[in-house]
Amino acid sequence: MRKFLIILDDLPEMLNAMRYAAIRASKTGGGVEMLAIISNEEFQHFMGVADVMRAEAHEKIEAHFQVFKNRMEKREKITPTLAIREGDKVDAVLTHIKENPDIGIIVLGAGTGGGGPGPIVSALTGRRMNELHIPVTIVPGSMTKEEVIAVT
């Protein structure tokens, strides 16, 4: 089964990427995998409590995932999977894709702020695009729910 990969974070544009991926997967008989990435920088300054902080980060991700899992099961009748990696975000995405040949496409939400589309979108459509061997779909964060549904 071909999986659509999305990045699970708390940025508003993630919702458009998730909606697009869930609807496309439902219509094509595919699946959705949500990848959460924990930055190692979050733990470097607190070595004595790094394990506790890491466990708390995993718990927060699991709870966040459960909300979206329930939503996809209810609305699109698909059950997403969750993967958690630590490290640099772009490196983690590329490694995850390389290690999971069932991932057929990555769906990214593009930011709408003045800082550009976001570091992952910028990297995977720019200098590191040659490291990808799957298509990238970018869903603008400025699209409405109705617009996302209309194009899927």
CATH domain 3-151 topology: Rossmann fold (3.40.50)
Q: Which residue has the tokens 């983690």?
A: 92
pLDDT digits (tens, 9 = 90+) for 28-47: 999 999 999 998 766 555 55
User: What pLDDT is attached to residue 112?
Assistant: 87
pLDDT at 51: 76
In the block, residue with structure tokens 């979206």: 68
Rounded to the nearest 10 degrees, what angle do helices 13-28 and 50-76 cross at? 50
> Which residues in the chain land under pLDDT 70?
41-48
On whether the CB atoms of residues 3 and 103 are closer than 8 A, the answer is: yes
